Structure 1
Amino acid sequence: MPPLTKYFEIASSPVPVMRTSILMLIINALRDAGMNPRELLARNGIDPDIEKESYSVVEMERYLNLFEKAATLNDNKALGFELGLACTPGQIGPLGLLFQALPTLRKAVLAFGNYLFAVQSHSSLTLNSDNDIAEIIYSLDVPQNWPCQQDVELTLALLINLIRERLGSQWLPIQVDFMHAPDKKAAMIRRRIGCPIFYRQPHNRILFDEQYLDDRRTMTDPDLIRILERHVCDLIGEEYAAQPFISTVMLAIRRCILAGNPSLASVARALYTSPRTLQRLLAREGTTFRSMLDTSRKELADTFEQRDQLNRDTLAYRIGYSDGTSLSRSRKRWKK
């Protein structure tokens, strides 16, 4: 077994990065199609020997570009979607195995979102539920001109497959939304998933019946769950896993902002606690949820404004405001 990269703090990497375990899905697909993946890896600035170390990392921009080129070379624009539906929990690594080991789907999805940065940085996955409908939202905090379609379709298809592994192959979502535009494969994706698909939506998300969230598995192995969680923490890095409580909350708030739901309730769910308990713990640290949310929004606003040059209304939406006027009021307060 290759050594674990214990002290690689993937979540705080200034450059978006991915674990090689996801890249291996693409490499194997190219080989199955009779192609030489080493040439494509080299042309995209990726070490051709990277596949020998499943715990190493690659810059996300290179991974995304490689993914789109692989789909084109393979003459298969549905490559990401098909890889996601065929992916097994073990191919994802300890995070996929943990998803299957936890006693309820709710805990599985929350853990997947909480530990996602063990696999990739600059991304978030959140779970929300309201009016008997649950939604899983996946988002990438990367420049808008980066090609994300293959990765997004892989991720949502992968999640659907993981849920079917738990609930049975007949399980169907209510609806799936993509932020990107439809193409010729849209009808095929609709048939394979078995539910309505909508494009050019505000979020990449899966909607399904909330009743499935708390169905308990008849048999779980607490020892296995502890081992898998320890393994995931090793991948994150012990220094990061043991970071102060405030830093953990700040990261959860940031992920919820990027997923479009920066509410106290959604952040508390991401931290496996109740809103009241979270507020009490923050008060003990001498701060409030509102103050931390405001700080996170300011940091994200500065980042997006410098990097993506967004207009006021678009920037406001990206950081969780309903309109540009609300953002303008906050900016005046930040300057004081």
Structure 2
Amino acid sequence: MTGASSFIRQQGCDPDVIARSVGLQIADDLPPTLALRLEDYCNLFEEVARQSGRYDTGLAYGQQFQPDQLGLIGYIALTSATLGDALINLAELFPYHQRATQTRLVRMADGFRIEYRITDPLISRRAQDAELTMGMFCNVFRRALGKSWHPDAVWFEHTCQSTAADYAAAFDAPVFFQRGTTALLFSDVGLDVPM
């Protein structure tokens, strides 16, 4: 939840009103080690999108969310020897950071994809979470390869939530919806670059 209150204010919403509407209390000064139910986290960002009328909320939050804001899992990625090692660590360890989640690094004929999926069938409102997570994953790449890095393609399980311009600004890559998983697709170029 790092920075969520200030981000919600930037979207033109009152963080306390949003939080109460989904049964939460949030503040930027809460200890970062507090546990939060994944369903509540997803509902929070879905509610921000609904109340603000900005369905690019997940995209915007993910683009500004840096790997060191992920706590221990972010620091493990950032202190990995190479970008490739960081992605392996991120995929293997992310479920320890966030329960009811599956992440996988999958080899394809023309590169790789890092997949992300919420496995809890009771969490149905998850589009904003998926979009912000793909943004966070992109920022791991950008930390090693520079701000201009972009994936080869992005897949989402959900339907399109925003405009083509919003997705282009966030990913600078083709974005596909209603896929079997949410994933970033990328080549193996740069995986040996030090973090």
Match of 2:116 among 108, 133, 138: 138
Match of 2:45 among 50, 61, 67: 67
User: Between the two proteins, what is the percent identity of the paired residues?
Assistant: 25
Residue number in structure 1 paired with 2:131: 153
Give distance in 1, aligned partners of 2:10 and 2:68: 19
2:32 aligned partner, one-letter code: S
Give distance in 1, aligned partners of 2:25 and 2:152: 41
Note the residue ranges of structure 2 that are not aligned, 5 or more in a row: none
Kept after mapping to 2: 8 A contact 1:137/1:205: yes
Note the residue ranges of structure 1 that are not aligned, 5 or more in a row: 1-22, 221-336
Distance change (3 Å), C-alpha of 1:167 and 1:50: closer
Structure whose CA Rg is larger: 1
Match of 1:197 among 175, 187, 193: 175
The alignment's TM-score, normalised by the length of structure 2, stands at 0.89
Residue number in structure 1 paired with 2:148: 170
Q: Shift of the alpha carbon at 1:122?
A: 0.6
Q: Shift of the alpha carbon at 1:98?
A: 2.2
Residue number in structure 2 paired with 1:83: 61
Residue number in structure 1 paired with 2:102: 124
Which structure has greater helix proportion? 1
Deviations 1:292-323 (A, max 9, x none): xxxxxxxxxxxxxxxxxxxxxxxxxxxxxxxx
Deviations 1:191-228 (A, max 9, x none): 43111111111110111112332x142xx7xxxxxxxx
Q: CA RMSD in A?
A: 2.1
1:177 aligned partner, one-letter code: W
The alignment's TM-score, normalised by the length of structure 1, stands at 0.54
Match of 1:56 among 34, 43, 58: 34
Give distance in 1, aligned partners of 2:164 and 2:43: 21
Give distance in 2, aligned partners of 1:34 and 1:209: 38
Higher RCO, Cα 8 Å, sep 6+? 2
Kept after mapping to 1: 8 A contact 2:63/2:170: no
Residue number in structure 2 paired with 1:182: 160
Q: Shift of the alpha carbon at 1:49?
A: 6.1
